[in-house]
Amino acid sequence: MGECRICGRRSSLVSSALGVCLECLRSDPKAVEVAMEAHREERLRLGLPAEPPRGAEGVRCSVCDAECVVPEGGVGYCGLVKNVGGRLVNLAGAPQTGILEYYYDPHPTNCVAYWFCPGATGLGYPRWAVSPGCERGYANLAVFYGACNSNCLFCQNWFYRHLLVSRSPRVSAEELVQAARRRPTTCICFFGGDPGPQVTHALLTARLLSESFKGRVMRVCWETNGHMNPRLFKAVLRTSLESGGIVKIDLKAWTPSVYKALTGRDLGAVLENARQALELARERPEVPLFTASTLLVPGYVDEEEVRMIARFIASVNPSTPYSLLAFHPDFRMSDLPPTSRRHALEAYRAAREEGLENVHIGNAWLLTRHDYAP
């Protein structure tokens, strides 16, 4: 049971890592600074900047929306860009190589978008799928990048940090193309971590795949926090639009203070990029181009956070698929309970009330029937 260092409230819905409750995050500016202490501790443990560096001296990186100004000898927020003699060097070797692991994920995959994905449902057959139903016998090439430009204390894939610290393995774009050709493969998904810090490597891979699989089904999909340079994100959207793939942004919270407390980052270009995706999705109605998801973190991402996210999405494109994901205790917020069924249903109703037509509760097997203790 955690205690809020602002109001003194003790509750199972207050994470000891954050040290503040949701009510204080929404009402007291000091609460964010308390939460940021945990982020600084985690970042320093990894030898990374506590926040995106933006000093007067240095070289600006524009790969993502952090827009780090990297000082001489220093690294950017993601840990992959270093200032060496006044020149930015990508430590992953991008765009030719990336720090990542990959594997084959047979269809139907446990993907956020599985409930409308062509690989699992045959949606868009025959142009975007090889069969009118699930593409059994085929796989998704899952590319797990070892870096991220957020610092989520609830991270469900926190082990990407092992790849970041070791800066290995390094995999070339050409090797990923060959991997897609070795086994029956109909899509590739870039995730992690996050593909944002290594987006140039992913874009090169997508281009080579398009050339290698010309005239065949090869969907390009992305799972991202949305913290990309809007110009590069436009290129990301095009790879999926033209291949039948799907872009997923995890919209983690709506209230800026809640978002920063959970992720260590300001919202930045996330909503701008999401709007760009929502608008472009109108060009391909037969297979949704864009989907959003929100992890229902108990005590922090309640139905009001979901309501505002849903209102934003519905104001642009109400048919957009939206997934509400069940949380399981992990990483620095392992003292919170799993998402309850009641929490999920309240969030679902809020999203529907705001006009979203396609709302889905994901990871339902993680939901507990027990409501949260006070």
Q: What pLDDT is attached to residue 344?
A: 98
pLDDT tens readout for residues 67-85: 999 999 999 999 999 999 9
Instruction: Give the DSSP H or E segment for 13.
Output: none
Domains defined for the chain, CATH in brackets = 97-366 (3.20.20.70)
The C-alpha atoms of residue 240 and residue 218 are separated, in whole angstroms, by 10
pLDDT tens readout for residues 19-67: 999 999 999 999 999 999 999 999 999 999 999 999 889 999 999 999 9
Residue 374 has pLDDT above 70, yes or no: no
pTM summary value: 0.97
Contact predicate 328/156, CB 8 Å = yes
